[in-house]
Structure 1
């Protein structure tokens, strides 16, 4: 990507905690106006990477920069918004008071109402933070993260505890921020969230970026396709065909996993003229993520 759009970077960063290596020479870039999703198993190094970019921790080796500055520099920190996985906020303060307090730290914050409308918390402004549900508190934390009008927004598991409607509303707010030129660094265990939002995905394992690219590029790394159909051809016959990895029955439809979708479809059509409800789907991000991390684990064991 264009280096002129780069606003945050980790370069050959290594970090150890005693005998544990959290980051092992990781390289990571964030560019203006993109959603970068960091995916990886627990302990892969995602949270440590974000802590480095935020200046909360220092690399043992390598460098971390934010707007070409030290991440701890006040000039850099005033241009970021942060929503961490857990936050301890004064329970007795009202939502409006929390947002105003956060806004006071920034030179050109959004107005209270503009922020509340975008985060979907207008109806909560007069309520005490401690009396809110977990999902409502997450929406308030999102409002506080974006009230400063940040150039880069760090969202660590932002929709945990939210229902489907609230999650969709937050996705819309994130897209609005990106349309204004804001960059978003997203960590999430909801792979459909990354699939819906991310311009670029970085898969982190054992403290390294093991794969990165668009969602489509990562999905293309998985050869298996899924064929769904209603057919009278038996499971035994289908499973005997070359290239068929597995076959299952879901709600009366056969679901066939294969690396040779075209060949299997031809055999199905030849064997059953009454074949119906035929669908062929490539791997989703979930399957790609599983395949990439499985390959990484296998390579690590072989080494």
Structure 2
């Protein structure tokens, strides 16, 4: 007996495809958030699929607001950490001062001890900056971030290279602008009248003021580069993406710089003690602003 549904043969009946979800080729696959499932994703170490990309409006005020809430909400890490950093800096300055005093030669030439202490200070400052940047990015992604996250998955050389290059370029520009005037002032100070010396000092201060003003208006173009590098991008990609993100969000980046400036000033006015709150707030605000500009996750894990 033949199968009545076979059309005259014994083949099994054929069913046309439907639009049911279970009939679709991608049924059962997890959604991809910003390509984070792909192996070649340029996200930072630990970037998970459940962390959604930022698609809202970039806001410096939102970044600062989040930073204040986070600093007080996780005070054991950020406030106590800033306090510990402040104490360690005092200890280091005291040790460096003792070394310089022990090696003082009576001349104005820098001693070997002072050069070594200055080099150590620069290296420690760069290392701590990279560690704190990584910690701030962790804080955005995970509310459980604490002391155990120190030195975890830190990307070292990429952000360091960018910071060193930016610092070197800024130093060269500054030296080219005021180096000759300062050199002449130091060498001819004895032959100058008081009016000439005052005019030379005012000239140096004026040039430095102009350079600071220019740097304020151009800093949005390069201040995000090291954050891209710390968040997992290569040096080349970090430079390109950092410039583009700063250009696209120029106004909000300037606003953040102004807000952070007044936060630091307010911290200094409270006998300097306010800096243990002001400093972590500015760092976290920069991290959150970076994630907004980069279109990356700004929501913590739950």
Q: TM-score, normalised by structure 1?
A: 0.22
Greater RCO, CA 8 A, separation 6+:
2
- Structure 1 or 2, whichever has the larger Rg, is 2
Q: TM-score, normalised by structure 2?
A: 0.22
Give the number of the structure whose residues are more often helix, by fraction: 2
